Amino acid sequence: MGTFKVFKSLVIDSLDTITKGSKKYHLWMGFLTLVMLIGMYCYSIQLEEGLSATGMSDRVSWGLYISNFTFLVGVAAAAVMLVMPTYVLKDIDFKQAVLIGEGLAVAALIMCLAFVVADMGGPSVLWHMIPGIGVFNFPNSMLTWDVIVLNGYLFINISIPFYILFKHYQNKEAKKSVYVPGAVLSVFWAVGIHLVTAFLYQGLQARPFWNNALLGPRFLASAFAAGPALIILVLAIIRSFTAFKIEDKTIKKIAMIVTVAAQINLIMLVSELFKEFYAPTHHSESAYYLFFGLHGKTALLPWIWTAIPINVLATIMLTFNKLRNNLKILYLCCGMLFVAIWIEKGFGLIVPGFIPGPYGKIVEYLPSGIEIGVTIGIWAMGAFVFTILAKTAIGIELGELRFKDKNSTTS
């Protein structure tokens, strides 16, 4: 009964906190709400007209939704790069940033699930994925493995921070024996969610573009570059607009993680390019379509030839200590890297896998306005969720939110 009383107080205090703030905060939340409403309107059109309202077709059945899903799985997995140093290696420099990273993982996973629902056409078909009611097809289907690991990782990233913050809200220390085992499990689970997602593509024999042994490791490398890059940008914003202290050395340590992961990602990219173009076969047609076009079809050329130079430039700049330790340059490089990997891991990975089709036919894909509207709406939802989580967590960590026991106060 006492725990429920504290939880009820936490909910009330949290609602009070997230509905109050500066003018900039209210403008930000109002903007996100407007974008979400636009996304909901676009989604209502998709529900009415079906997936024909999108740019997808029978030939290219995965597009902008699955591209964002794949990218965001990596963003969610990147939280492990803060969890492991903090909870496992006991590096105090990461302590202030780890709850922010886990909040970002929760928001990213919610967006992942939203993109899957959007790609399935609507929530009414989700019953197919419920064990016992639908045809879950576990363990044969890699898709069911993906459902399990994503929801499991979401549960871990909600439960551990919630336990820690719940204890801090009561002005108590969280017991390491309770949350450390979960943190250790999350390290392996984070790797698992990305490898399982990679295996989902690798297991499709009819799509040679994805039949690459490096796909899983490259997923991890790109995730540990783009995810921490986003975390750095978020920490920079939090430092600017709140009293929550994030030390420079914390950001610089995360920047080192970004740099090493970006370098490994580029090495794997070069290896893939060598494999595709040094001794090309008919299985290399998807790569040729992506980088050079095929039979006059060049829809993806602007995307990939924007992403690769930005990726290379950002990685080179981050490699030099003097540039990386300049926070303004670091923030610029993190933004460049985030956008470049989003393009490369999205359009650059998903769409070429369908082109050309099994019979050699080329059907190009570009997202429709409805798809773009739904996508922007889901990203706004993720930002909205993260803002709420971060504002509550920061309030508790700063001591502004504390449980007030009326009985003890009265006595």
Question: How far is it, in rounded angstroms, from Cα 145 to Cα 147?
Answer: 5
- Domains of the chain (ranges plus CATH)? 21-238+247-398 (1.20.1630.10)
Cα 290 to Cα 287: distance, rounded to the nearest angstrom: 5
| 77 has pLDDT over 80 | yes
Our CA angle for 340, 386, 239, nearest 5°, is 80
Phi then psi dihedrals of residue 294, to 5 deg: -140, 120
Closest CA to 406 of 12, 137, 35: 12
The alpha carbon torsion through 11, 12, 18, 23 (nearest 10 deg) reads 180
Quickly state the pLDDT bin for 409 (edges 50, 70, 90): very low
**What's the rounded Cα separation, in Å, for the pair 145 and 142?**
5
> How much is the average pLDDT of 264-270?
93
Predicted confidence (pLDDT) per residue in 122-147, tens digit: 777 777 777 777 777 777 788 888 88
Of 320, 334, 339, nearest to 258 by C-alpha is: 334
Q: Is pLDDT of 221 > 60?
A: yes
d(Cα 113, Cα 263) in Å, to the nearest integer?
A: 30
Contact 119, 144 (CB under 8 A): no
Beta partners for residue 297, in sequence order: 294
* Residue 211 one-letter amino acid: N
pLDDT confidence bin for 385, thresholds 50/70/90: very high
pLDDT at 302: 92
Q: How many helices (H) and strands (E) does the chain have?
A: 15, 0
Strand partners for 294: 297
Q: Which secondary structure element, helix H or strand E, spans residue 225, and what is its range?
A: helix 215-241
Strands (E), 97-239: none
Residue 172 DSSP symbol: -
Task: Please indicate, yes or no, whether the overall pTM of this predicted structure exceeds 0.75.
Answer: yes
DSSP H/E element including 27: helix 23-49
Tell me the DSSP string of 57-111: -SS----HHHHHHHHHHHHHHTTHHHHIIIIIS--GGGHHHHHHHHHHHHHHHHH
DSSP alpha helix (H) spans, 293-368: 301-319, 321-324, 327-345
Mean pLDDT taken over the chain: 89
**Closest among 96, 88, 250, 95 to 183, alpha carbons compared:** 88
State the Cα–Cα distance between residues 164 and 48, nearest whole angstrom.
44
